[in-house]
Structure 1
């Protein structure tokens, strides 16, 4: 029996320098950053609506010490373009955060940021149909790209947007969503909900929780005829929206979610890794960029940390189980994941794991970052 030829090696995605051309305020605590894409990188930075960029920054170094690398993911809000001369991302200030204070308070036109090519599976390629989104806060960012691209490219598509914000002053992309409504009045339907401020018209203030959404959604749109639901924002809102859709009988495969801000996930929602994963000596074999290596895992460390000690080019961003950048396929052995807010059930059923959250529970584990 002949051995099938091995797949050609593919280099892991690399960071590229992009010039900041604009930093525009969005409400009271957020900015939109526009990045110029040089002609030679436009194919590399072509994106599907809903994808994000991973940005890298080196923290200020101490005396004689090298600065630590920080990575964060930010969704692309600009419509998809086959030849993107610019990309625009939305960044909300998180006090005490590692990257957003720098982006919101210091980043300026003329600066350079380093970015990985677009990634992420919270996406919608334009096609006919009826689609809906429930978003909170900065969760509008990827959905703005999804809706704008869909409506401009597909005349047979409709989009319903239910968005929740604290106040009008904190609402990101207020003008952009209003512009979509003006340009597509018959195909784009918008409902704004504020949790801490009265509106002259519309919903009374309050959170969009499961009971409220269960009553509200059937009054707004034909729930049964929606081809895809996109839920994005804080953990609490996404969970409440998922429960409401389940109550309304929406099939699981029509619901797509993306969680922002893993740090806000309550401790009760995250398993205790010490209780879930026994301490053991394990070896981890990882394939990355077509090249495999086997490494000894230190007690308690994640698969990603084991690989990073030996392959600094291993893909990661948030290390919080949210962005999905470190997604890999488990080929041999068993692991336990501390948290997972990035993979769909069909992905975990197919053997995919988040390397940043996975700990070996068998002496030998093999995973493939290229799969």
Structure 2
């Protein structure tokens, strides 16, 4: 469900990014109270076409009134990011969905670390700030990669964390397209470099949770490096911010057997319905024909907004960059990427 929220601030962060803050009225404070690391979906209609995009909340998770602030980077040919960067102004109204997402960290004692690239800093900023503020027994190491210093989002906010908690917050910065006077040499943070770098920065095996966020290449390389260093899969959490159309991630071959006719039964907000699945349609597209309130944002298998439990039947997912292995093993699928592999399929969006 979307709620119209007023824009209270638009702050230019870099030459290609902004931070947008929304007013949350008293009656919606509980609706928009977020867990550190969650994201929101934004919706607008332009020239009769609905546009939805998800953006992570960068503000700490407050104990009282929620602060709803997101970071938006301008993407080439990106309809919503172009609108937000060039047109969105204080006083405008944007339709906003309640916070969701499982790339989260509830504050607790321990040693945590993040490897982020570009705008992947956005959810991690909320995670680190909330953790350090609420849990005196926690430490956090942030390893961030950006193209240049000028393109680095939330420079001041990250510097503030270092100033406030110098003994509990470790910051390592790498830029890929310019030399730095101090710090690490420039270059990409790929698997080989991280495998060599990480043990020299912190006790890898003692870190209680790793949070990887950014482009697919960075996240995949970081995961492989950590697994090669002996980190258990259960301690690695990841969120992809950008996936090229040709990127890998197909879970089952396109030639997998598809029934000639299939019917989908779906439960959403306590109400069930069933619809025939048209040839070529995903299960999300099938639900949307009868329920326009079905949850989705990116339709690319990245954000996880359309996550649903597979009650019965079988499906094939084209690709998955949002669900953890434990979730798929437990029976969850991405409706936007799922197609029926049996004549009857049942999904539950409420679980």
Conserved 8 A contact 1:277-1:359: no
- Aligned with 1:323 (options 283, 303, 324): 303
Task: State yes or no: 1:130 paired with 2:111.
Answer: yes
Q: Using the alignment, how far apart are the partners of 2:101 and 2:79 within structure 1? A: 21
Q: Using the alignment, how far apart are the partners of 1:125 and 1:273 within structure 2? A: 37
Q: Secondary structure at the match of 1:190?
A: strand
The alpha-carbon deviation at position 276 of structure 1 amounts to: 3.7
Q: Secondary structure at the match of 2:122?
A: helix
The alpha-carbon deviation at position 280 of structure 1 amounts to: 2.5
| Paired position in structure 2 for 1:47 | 34
Task: State yes or no: 1:230 paired with 2:230.
Answer: no
Task: State yes or no: 1:218 paired with 2:206.
Answer: no
- Aligned with 1:352 (options 328, 332, 335): 332
1:268-313 Cα shifts (integer Å, max 9, x gaps): 4446864345362100000011111110000111000000001111
Q: Using the alignment, how far apart are the partners of 1:266 and 1:362 within structure 2? A: 27
1:183–1:218: structure 2 CA closer, same or farther, 3 Å change rule? same
Q: Using the alignment, how far apart are the partners of 2:210 and 2:253 within structure 1? A: 32
The alpha-carbon deviation at position 133 of structure 1 amounts to: 0.1
| Paired position in structure 1 for 2:16 | 29
Task: State yes or no: 1:301 paired with 2:288.
Answer: no
Structure 1 spans left out of the alignment, 5+ residues? 1-13, 61-66
| Paired position in structure 2 for 1:19 | 6
Q: Using the alignment, how far apart are the partners of 1:196 and 1:338 within structure 2? A: 34
1:238-267 Cα shifts (integer Å, max 9, x gaps): 0000000011000000000000123x2544
- Aligned with 2:84 (options 103, 111, 114): 103
The TM-score, its normalising length taken from structure 2, stands at 0.98
Task: State yes or no: 1:185 paired with 2:172.
Answer: no
Conserved 8 A contact 1:43-1:83: no
Q: Using the alignment, how far apart are the partners of 1:93 and 1:368 within structure 2? A: 35
Q: Using the alignment, how far apart are the partners of 1:17 and 1:239 within structure 2? A: 36
Conserved 8 A contact 1:45-1:84: no
| Paired position in structure 2 for 1:83 | 64
Conserved 8 A contact 2:125-2:158: yes
The alpha-carbon deviation at position 111 of structure 1 amounts to: 0.6
Q: How does 1:222-371 map to 2 (within 5 A)?
A: 222-262=203-243, 264=244, 266-270=246-250, 274-276=254-256, 278=258, 280-371=260-351
| Paired position in structure 1 for 2:127 | 146
Task: State yes or no: 1:57 paired with 2:57.
Answer: no
Conserved 8 A contact 1:39-1:85: no
Task: State yes or no: 1:200 paired with 2:191.
Answer: no
Q: How many residues align?
A: 351
The alpha-carbon deviation at position 205 of structure 1 amounts to: 1.0
Q: How does 1:150-161 map to 2 (within 5 A)?
A: 150-161=131-142
